[in-house]
Every structure is written in C-alpha cells, then in structure tokens.
Amino acid sequence: MSHKFRGTGVALVTPFAKDGSVDHEGLTKLVHHCIDGGVEYLVVLGTTGESATLNAEEKLEVVSTVLIANAGKLPVVLGVGGNNTAEVVSSLESGIPEGIDAILSVSPYYNKPTQEGIYQHYKAIAEVSPVDIILYNVPGRTSSNISSATILRLAHDFDNIIAVKEASGNLEQVMEIINGRPAGFAVISGDDNLTYSIVALGGDGVISVSGQGFPEIFTPMVRSVLSSELDSAREMHYQLFEVTKMLFAEGNPGGIKAVLKQRGICGDTLRLPLWPISNDLYMKLENETNRLTK
C-alpha cells in the first residue's frame, strides 16, 4: 500500500534550555538529524514533545521552527487532541499552520468515555478538520482503549481518518484492525519494541520515540520489514531492543532526551512534573549509545 505515512515517523522531543525556555537551535538540529537519518515524516507536539507543558505561544513557535527546519522535505504531523471535544473542534476551526499534512489526535483521556462517546468525539473532529486525521490509541495514558470495532467503524465512515497509531500493546487487536481496515487506511505502531511484529503482520510503520535517537538503525529496520527482508530487520530490531526498554524505564521523554544529549543534538532538560532520569540509567544509556554509534 502506498501511503504518505508509511515507514518511520518520529515523535519529536521539544528541547529546552537549562532555564526551561524552548531551545529552538536544538530543535532545528534535531529535525536535521532526523532528516539526515532517513526518517519518512515528523510528528510535532505529541506526548514526547511535552505538549502539556507548553503554552499556546510556545506551541506556535515550536511548530514554526520545525516547519522552517524541515523546509518541505518531509510530511509533518501535528498533535491536536484533548478530552474536551468542543475545545478540540474549536481549535481546528480556528485553523492550523500551513505546511501541516495531518493531525495526530489522542483518544480522550481521564474522562473514560464509552466507545460511542469516543466515536462521536472523532466524528466531530472529522467533520471540521482541514487536514487528514491519525487516530491515537494509547490506553496506558488515557485509561480507555479504542476498540478495534470503533477504530474500524471510524476508518470506514470517514475518508479523512486515514490511519491509527496503535499503542495498546495488544497484537490481537492490531491484527483485527489490519484484517478489517478499508483500502488506504494505515496501521502505525505506537510501541517501538513491537514495531517489527506489527509491520511483519501487515502494519505500515511506526511513530517512534527511539527512532530520533538512532534513525540510522531504526529507519532501515522498518524499511527492511516492509520489504519482507525479515532476517536483516530482526537483527536491527535486537540491536535496539535493550536500549529501547531503557528509554522508557523512567518515563518518556527523559530517556530519549538523555540519548540526544549524549549524541550532541540537544540538552536533556525537562519541564515539571517530569524529572530527569537517574545517574545509573543515564550511564547505562550512554554505554548503549556508544555501542550503537561507534
């Protein structure tokens, strides 16, 4: 299947200076690093980008920096979601920056809506969105799963709902979606260490955290699975397996920011309530980073 969001997308961190302000120079460097590493598209202002801690002005500045640094080279996806449907709809009606190719919209969190509530939430978004929509199912953060039936219902009912980022960790659910999806609907892994499996089962790629740390390994791994070169892909998968577990051991994006600091791309400052990773984990990640980049 040919799809704009096939392959490796990366959920960009938002680099911060030591004083907590947005580090636009570091963000520019990160975008160039990802482009040079061969990723297929960029995702800005997702969970990994600490969007919950950015004010409206900062969000616009971050998007502007990414678009300028990208210079039209790759598709760009913007995180637009929330648990207040009317507010999400209003933000979309107000318009989104030119140069955004799609939105990634997380399922409503905290409220714990029913499946019908989730369907109606996305229906309202689909009716006003000026660009295509990627659903985002991440029960570990939202406390509610979008069932395969609801995802397929949305996929069949709305032409502008073009994909799902699936981070349920439930391979049976992923297979149900792949098996029942309409033509042109992409199933994207939202779990780095399940990407090999999901793509081998018929998925279309990943929106990755670790992919921005090691794009020169992660991107060819995904491409190899898509090309059914499973042996070489498996080798790259296991190259990254341990470091990927470490990246999430003390929360995201603390781990990946540490790796990006070790690679000289940006600092590892976080905004509260997130807190830097322990020295012990930092040293373990540094050993892995040195091993993978030597």
Distance CA 82, CA 79 (A): 10
28 is in an annotated binding site: no
- Who's near 206: CB < 8 A, 6+ residues apart? 8, 9, 188, 189, 190, 192, 195, 198, 199, 222
- From the list 41, 119, 122, 136, the catalytic residue is 136
Distance CA 39, CA 5 (A): 11
Asked whether the beta carbons of 22 and 263 are under 8 A apart, the reply is: no
Distance CA 159, CA 234 (A): 34
122 is catalytic: no
Cα–Cα–Cα angle for 251, 260, 17, rounded to 5 degrees? 85
- From the list 41, 59, 165, 282, the catalytic residue is 165
Prior bond to 273 cis, omega within 30? yes
238 is catalytic: no
219 is in an annotated binding site: no
List, in sequence order, the alpha helices (H) in the chain: 24-36, 56-70, 85-93, 115-126, 139-142, 148-157, 171-180, 195-200, 215-226, 230-247, 254-262, 279-293
Q: Per the annotation, where are the binding residues for pyruvate?
A: 48, 207
Would you name the residues annotated as active-site residues?
136, 165
